[in-house]
Structure 1
Amino acid sequence: MDISFQEVQLSSLTPPQLKMLHDQLDQEIEVLTSSMQSLKGAQNQFNESKQSLKTICPKNVGKDILVPLTGSLYVPGQLADADSVLVDIGTGYYAEKTLTDADEFFKRKIDYLKQQMDKLQPAVQQKFQSRQVVYEMLQAKVMAHAKQQSKK
């Protein structure tokens, strides 16, 4: 199926059509912004995990720690091994990694998420600009219509 888009002159649209276009752009901006926030949240989690690796060292073996069971439930424990960690690699799977491998894993994930956000940012900016142009055209049409009505 071949979908082609055709450029539309905004000046040829009626105020209701411009309003619909403005609302559509608002929805697209909301979806893109939500996606950006999700990516940023994931990036923050990977950053926190990467930073947490710094506390795992031989001098801390045997020290008391809190072990997360869920996002809000922790149990007391002791650090037994300073050489490897279990890393959540997604969809409920965990992999045992050395501290260096875990650090590299988190760095790759952080970099990947940054690349995705960098790709998304221009689209968000373009949608904001388009929405502003549509809004200005809508305002101009409404003002012109009001001016015509006042002359009658």
Structure 2
Amino acid sequence: MTTIKADELHLLPPQQLAQLIKQTESEVKFFSNSLNELKTVVESFKRSEDAVLQLVETGEGKECLIPLTDTIHIKGKTGPTQKFLIDVGTGYFAEMTAEEATSMFTRKRSFVTNQIDKIEGEVIPQKRLLLELANAIIEEKVRQSRAAAGQA
């Protein structure tokens, strides 16, 4: 369905309004689920940034546990903390200093947070307003239809 303006909703027949309502409800659900995923991504970037900073603070040669899976760890020692291999996406790794890595995580967190703000502040409220308007118009059309049927 093409994008429709709020002032054009009253021109749609009830069947199209019902379809628009169903589609918009689906979109609100999609964006709400996406918000939860994006918030998880922001937390992941923060944990990664904190891990880099903590490792730099800990220094070289300190004992630690290295995760192999979520439940299996092995003992190890920290290595040099001047450079880190950072997963930059789709299986590619880049060697970065702690400063470069934390800067990248901060930029990514900022970008995703801005997207979250847009979805929460603009997209979802607009979709909910469209739902309210479409529901009100369809209810009015049903009332008009019943009134017309009662007069006949």
Give the TM-score category using the shorter length: 0.7 to 0.9
User: Is the contact between residue 47 and residue 110 of structure 1 (CA under 8 Å) also seen in structure 2?
Assistant: yes
Asked if 1:143 is matched to 2:143, the reply is: yes
Identify the residue that residue 25 of structure 1 maps to in structure 2: 24
**More displaced 10-residue stretch of structure 1: 98-107 or 60-69:** 60-69
Structure 2 gaps, min length 5: none
User: Is the contact between residue 59 and residue 80 of structure 2 (CA under 8 Å) also seen in structure 1?
Assistant: no
Q: Percentage identity across aligned positions?
A: 27
> CA 1:68 to 1:95, structure 2 compared with 1: closer, same or farther past 3 Å?
farther
Give SS of 1:87's match: strand
Identify the residue that residue 104 of structure 1 maps to in structure 2: 103
Structure 1 gaps, min length 5: none
CA RMSD in angstroms, aligned pairs only: 2.6
Identify the residue that residue 114 of structure 1 maps to in structure 2: 113
TM-score (norm 1): 0.78
Instruction: Give 4+ residue runs of structure 1 displaced > 6 Å after superposition.
Output: none
Give SS of 2:26's match: helix
Report the AA paired with residue 67 of structure 1.
I
1:63-106: CA deviation from partner (whole Å, max 9, x where unpaired): 33232345x25432221223222211111111221111111111
User: Is the contact between residue 66 and residue 74 of structure 1 (CA under 8 Å) also seen in structure 2?
Assistant: no
Asked if 1:75 is matched to 2:68, the reply is: no
Give SS of 2:41's match: helix
| Count of residue pairs brought into register by the alignment | 148
